[in-house]
Chain A
Amino acid sequence: MKHRHIARALALVLLLAFIVNICYNALSWKDTTGGYLSSYTQLYNMEEDTVDVLFVGSSHVYCDIYPCYLWRDYGISSFDMAVSGQDKDSSYYSIIETLKTQKPKVVCVDLYCLLFDEQEVIGNEYRNMLGMKPSKNSVDLVNQYTKGQRSKRKDYLLRFPIIHTRYQELQKYDFETFKPSIYGKGADFHWEMNGCMVNEDAMATETVGDLSVENREWIEHLASLSRKNDFKLIFIMAPHLQSEADQQIINATMEYTAEMKIPVYDINRNRDALGLVPESDYLDSSHLNAYGAEKMTAFMYGVLTSDTTASNGVADEKHDLMDHRGDVKYDSWNLDLEDYEHLKAKIQLQQVADPTEYVQKVGQLGDVTIVASIEGDLSDKDYNLAMSLLGVSEDTWRQGGKWIWQDGVIQRTIKNDNEERLNYNLSKYDSIRTQYIGDCSRQNVMINGQSYQNTQGGLAITVYDNLREEVLSYKEF
């Protein structure tokens, strides 16, 4: 009897643990305003011991350094362990978290976190405190960050006091991991050009300010970590809009790190050397776009692969980095690059007005499904070239219809006189339904309840991204 009671009690405890775990997985904090992208999730999904270069920092890192460029051009496997508004504690413990599964040869840390002590944006605090999986390391981070704030510490340690109200906003990606969070390498791709402002006075400041005890300790802890884990530590100062006081802290850091022989690259004050163009290379005053990131990443390649002298005068020897292209273990870097190409194409395809050019560009992309629909009066239309690229003759397209094209071949065809519905699964959760219930009806091409039919007549092309599992582009011609 006694054993049976103990067994029942244990069963109940296990059941409760199981339930709490299920609830936690769904409700756990996710970067909903960041499109469900998370460097931590990407880290946890990465093959072990594959990262050679680790970039650590805030949005300045994930906007300014694209690992896919280093991969595309040089085969270097790098990763942005970057979280919005990353503070000193989060930065330090994120490296420790990364070192659990990775053995980077070089770790480049952005110094932006020296310029503030506490988060000003609660969302950024959540990103840094809750992104990490619960572990001793996450507990250490919370304890360190919330020193003297008992209530806050309990909330972060237990997590449920913060996350439980997320039941009001649960979406697909709370139950299914967002694909780019599986294969992505930390960067957040942007092509917008919004220009930038520069504080010239701050840039010209040579005054050396005070380096706080906390900042010194942080640098020392990182140096110690680098010695213990045998990686080369490099500091960078990514371009951003800063004050004179900020620059004084950086100047002090330069001196302090020079004594410790740790190289610091003040890219913020050497923007011209990178060839950054204010009008075209900036997302905003503190972040680069994809064009600027290409230049900054190339600069970092130079830093990594040649003997240089850093901004603080420390001699920095080149690092022996391998080209991993072709190694299946590094496939996720290929996916990350492909994802970048897709998003870049998404921007470019918006500008294309000619169907042939559109199909040509789409044809260059891998992992896409193309859905073409032709309806209405076609007498004055000429889609010959575009449709021939998809393998559809003029006689065929002039009769109208719908074509689903994937992996270089037409997978399904449905004519406009066919009253039958064609249902086709694009991915695990996305499906297309094509039918003909009258010329140019919105219902003729539907993906997950959304219409992709040209209601004016003519050609409509929908490009579905098999990688991200979402519609990449839709255009009417």
Chain B
Amino acid sequence: MLFNSIDFIIFFPIVVLMYYIIPKKMRYIWLLIASYYFYMSWNAKYVVLILFSTTVTYTSGILLGKAKTTIRKKWIVAFSFVMNLGVLGFFKYFDFFLHNLNKVLSALHVTVVENPFSFLLPVGISFYTFQALSYTMDVYRGQIEPEKNFLKYALFVSFFPQLVAGPIERSGNLLKQIKDMEKKSMWNYEGAASGLIMMFWGLFMKMVIADRIAIFVNGVFDNVYRCGTVETVLGAMAFAVQIYCDFGGYSAIAIGAAKVLGFDLMENFNAPYFSESIVEFWRRWHISLSFWFRDYLYIPLGGSRCSKAKKYRNIAITFLVSGLWHGAAWTFVVWGGIHAVYQIIGDLLKLVKTNCNEILHTNTQVFSYHFGRVMITFLLTCFAWIFFRAKSIGEAGYYIRNMFSKWNPWVIFDESLFGFGLDRREVGILLFAILLLLVVDIIRVVKKETLGVFMMRQNLWFRYAVIAFLVVSIIVYGEYGVNFDSAKFIYFDF
């Protein structure tokens, strides 16, 4: 069930209505039923996997609570990780492993291994596995008490707004709210209204911007052979916008939906393209995953409180694993690798940059300096996105070759850019929508508050006008329905 589907439009109001009607004690059970129904609407069989992950981590939590020795605790954590990552690895990476193994075998002229399995990637498996594992780690570290109520814990793992694409919640936040559900008030108008605005904004990002710009992106990436510098640069930048609006839109809907139900999920995006460095980018982009890797991989590896070489190794490992988490393909690994390289080079050049600024008497407090840094960071991320979007390393290489070898500025003027799926009218709608996105992100950076919170401080008429505008835009200009092959949210594949 996609957030931008008719099914969800029917499902969500029923869930909300029932949630506020039934007795408080029953609410978590209702949400659990709703969450499992939500998940099973994709593939009922795969409910076994989420149930398995839930059971393993729940049991691990209970055992950790009872374990007396550190060594025993470590064994329990190891068991939880092996079981969960084993399932994740099997369903997500087995094909990838076999494909690469067969490549090696065929290079050695050895008979290739037939794939005995054929299955679809279970939706959201990377997300709920990581969320469940974070619980095991948090219990192990003593940051939270083990949850004794299995159903409440199961709701924590399967809470439908963030089940299939995050934000990857922490037990300290979401599980605590689930445990405290009975203390919540019946109805929080401010929260619900704010959540609703977030949901509409998320749908706007996804259906009006992401799915529209995807047409252009697909047009470019499917026709790289006839693209020069201008098209490839625009294509990469367009994909940067697409993936932001796709995933950011999903997160906004998830956070908004949870808010309507009275839950506060952690922020997942914070105007990422306003970052002035790659380090900052990862503090603003997919925040829940970045923090997960920081807390459960980077820091355990030693983090930055070690030698430079070890620090760079830790960065490299974290980003390569992060890349692999995004998809079972070398393109994702390269994408992660590029971000690692950016960070390492950025760190190495820190002193050089400072010296240059001093020599050139650069004023680092003015807008132009910050703007320049934002632009450079954006372009660097755009370059890395090429690998994320390309189907293979070879395709990405060809794309980049065309980018630097076919300088064709005339296409800006001869209207051939309209030949990539979006006509003049559609481009107009898209640019207007992106302008709005820019305004919202500027508000986010300047006011340091989410759109939902910002809107709730405005006058009622303005709020209603914005909601009306968003609804009309989604209904009329949203990419959905007949003749539209709606791209599901990109991150569902991860």
Contacts and interface: CB of A to CB of B under 8 A. Distances in A.
Given A19-B471, A23-B476, A160-B475, A5 B189 contact: yes
B467 A167 contact: no
Contacts of B189: 5, 8-9
B475 A161 contact: no
A126 to B, nearest CB: 9
Given A155-B482, A158-B6, A8 B460 contact: yes
Contacts of A164: 475-476, 478, 480-481
Interface residues of A, number: 22
A128 to B, nearest CB: 15
Given A8-B189, A12-B464, A27-B476, A162 B481 contact: yes
A162 B6 CA distance: 13
B483 interface: yes
B475 A23 contact: yes
A406 B166 CA distance: 70
Contacts of B471: 16, 19-20
Interface in B480-494: 480-484
Contacts of B187: 2, 5
Interface string B420-438: 0000010000000000000
A50 B480 CA distance: 42
A151 B83 CA distance: 38
B282 interface: no
B491 to A, nearest CB: 24
Interface in B449-464: 460, 464
A9 B464 CA distance: 10
B477 interface: yes
A19 B481 contact: no
B472 interface: yes
Contacts of B476: 23, 27, 164, 167
A154 interface: yes
Q: Quick one: which of B189, B472, B482 has the most chain A CB within 10 A?
A: B482
A152 to B, nearest CB: 9
A160 B464 contact: no
B468 interface: yes
A154 B6 contact: yes
Nearest to A27: B476
B475 A20 contact: yes
Contacts of A8: 189, 193, 460
A16 B6 contact: no
B480 A161 contact: yes
Interface in A112-154: 154
Nearest to B196: A12
* Interface SS, B side: helix
Nearest to B423: A168
Interface in B1-17: 6
Given A5-B189, A154-B6, A165-B483, A15 B468 contact: yes
B422 to A, nearest CB: 12
Contacts, number: 49
A230 to B, nearest CB: 40
Contact of A167 (B460, B477, B484): B477
A8 B459 CA distance: 12
Contacts of A158: 6
Contacts of B467: 12, 15-16
B238 to A, nearest CB: 21
A307 to B, nearest CB: 51
A160 B481 contact: yes
A119 to B, nearest CB: 14
Interface in B253-270: none
B481 A161 contact: yes
Contacts of A27: 476
A167 B481 CA distance: 14
Contacts of A20: 471, 475
Q: Quick one: which of B189, B425, B477 has the most chain A CB within 10 A?
A: B189
Interface in A313-372: none
A161 B425 contact: no
Interface in B171-224: 187, 189, 193
A158 to B, nearest CB: 6
Contacts of A16: 467-468, 471
Contact of B482 (A11, A15, A162): A162
A42 to B, nearest CB: 26
A23 B472 contact: yes
A19 B482 contact: no
Contacts of B460: 8
A162 to B, nearest CB: 5
A139 to B, nearest CB: 15
Nearest to A157: B6
Contact of A165 (B6, B468, B472, B481): B481
Contacts of A11: 464
Nearest to B429: A167
Contacts of B6: 154, 158, 161
Contacts of A15: 464, 467-468
A168 B429 CA distance: 11
Nearest to B188: A5
B471 to A, nearest CB: 6
A183 to B, nearest CB: 31
Contact of B481 (A2, A5, A9, A155): A155
Nearest to B426: A168
A154 B482 CA distance: 11
B54 to A, nearest CB: 30
A8 B190 CA distance: 11
Nearest to B425: A168
Interface in A1-46: 2, 5, 8-9, 11-12, 15-16, 19-20, 23, 27
A19 B472 contact: yes
Contacts of A2: 187
A2 B477 CA distance: 35
B30 to A, nearest CB: 21
A15 B189 CA distance: 17
A5 B481 CA distance: 34
A381 B83 CA distance: 101
A27 B475 CA distance: 10
Nearest to A159: B481
B380 to A, nearest CB: 37
A155 B481 CA distance: 7
Contacts of A154: 6
Nearest to A152: B482
A4 B246 CA distance: 36
A19 B477 contact: no
Nearest to A22: B472
A19 B478 contact: no
A2 B189 CA distance: 9
B420 to A, nearest CB: 17
Nearest to A11: B464
Nearest to A161: B481
B212 to A, nearest CB: 12
A16 B482 CA distance: 23
Nearest to A168: B425
A12 B480 CA distance: 24
A477 B471 CA distance: 55
Contacts of A162: 481-482
A12 B478 CA distance: 21
A338 B189 CA distance: 59
A27 B467 CA distance: 20
Given A8-B460, A167-B477, 20 more contacts: A2-B187, A5-B187, A8-B193, A9-B193, A12-B467, A15-B464, A16-B467, A16-B468, A16-B471, A19-B471, A19-B472, A20-B475, A23-B472, A23-B475, A23-B476, A27-B476, A160-B475, A161-B6, A164-B480, A164-B481
Interface of A: 2, 5, 8-9, 11-12, 15-16, 19-20, 23, 27, 154-155, 158, 160-162, 164-165, 167-168
8 contacts: A5-B187, A15-B468, A23-B476, A161-B6, A161-B482, A162-B481, A164-B475, A164-B476
Leading 7 A-B pairs by shortest Cβ distance: A161-B481, A5-B189, A162-B482, A167-B476, A19-B468, A154-B6, A161-B482
